[in-house]
Amino acid sequence: MHLRRHLGILAVASSLVGLSTAARAALSDATAGHVSFQASGPAGMKIEGTTGDLTLADKGDSVVLTVPLGNLSTGISLRDKHMKEKYLEVPKYPTATLSVVRTALKVPAAGEKVEIDVPGTVNLHGQTRPVTVHYEAKRDGSSLVAHGKFHINMTDFGITVPSYLGVTVKPDVDVSADFRAAGS
C-alpha cells in the first residue's frame, strides 16, 4: 500500500512537470501562415485582404507575430494601392505585430486541443492598443497548429476610414491568422 501511494505521487508529479514543460514550449518557425482581414461597407459589401507573410518569434516572456503589410492583397489592384499608400501608409509603417504574454498562452500537449481568449497588444500604423485574441491550438506531432482572431477599430490606430466614390467602409475590422509552428 505504501509503495502504491509513492508511485501515485510520482506519477502525479511527473504529469505536472510534463504540463509545465508543454506550457513553456518554445515556438518558432511559423509555416503555412495565412493572415486575413475582413471589413464591410454599405449594402453587404465585404472586403477581404490576405497575405501568406507571417513570422513568429518567441521572445521568452512573449510570443510575437509579425505581418509585413506590403504583400496584403484584396484582389483589386487599385484598392490595394489605396490601402497600402493612403490608409496603412506601408512605406512609413511596414509591419503589424501582435504580442501575447507567454504566461497567458496554453500550449496543448500531444493529442490535446485548447481554445481560449487571451489578452494581447497590436501595433499597427504606429499605434499600440490592447486586444482580446481568441485562439485554438492543437498538437500535430512536434508542431503546433494554431488559428487566432481578434477585432479592431481602425480609427483606434489613427487610420483614416476608407472612402471611395462615396462608399465608406465601416471602421470595424476582423483579423485572423492561421499557422503551423515548431514547438519544442
Bridge-based pairing of strands 46-51 and 27-40 is antiparallel
Does 2 or 73 have the greater pLDDT score? 73
Domain ranges of the chain: 26-183
Residues 6+ away with beta carbon under 8 Å from 41: 47, 167, 168, 169, 170
**In the predicted model, what is the mean pLDDT of residues 157-169?**
90
- pLDDT digits over 119-147, tens only? 999 999 999 999 999 999 999 888 889 99
Provide the whole-model pTM: 0.80
The pLDDT mean for the chain works out to 84
Identify the CA nearest to 127 among candidates 163, 169, 159. 159
pLDDT band at 54 (very low <50, low <70, confident <90, very high): very high
Average pLDDT for 62-68: 95
Q: Where does 26-183 sit in CATH, by number?
A: 2.40.128.110
Residue type for position 140? D
Which of the 8 DSSP states describes residue 85?
A: I
9 versus 169: which is more confidently predicted? 169
Given a contact cutoff of 8 angstroms between Cβ atoms, the answer to whether 51 and 41 are in contact is no
Tell me which of 17-21, 78-82, 92-96, 117-121 is least confident.
Answer: 17-21
What does the pLDDT average to over 12-33? 46
Determine the average pLDDT of the residues in 5-15: 31
Q: Contacts for 49-56 with beta carbons within 8 Å, 24 or more apart?
A: 49/73, 49/74, 49/80, 49/83, 54/30, 54/177, 54/179, 55/30, 56/27, 56/28, 56/29, 56/30, 56/179, 56/181
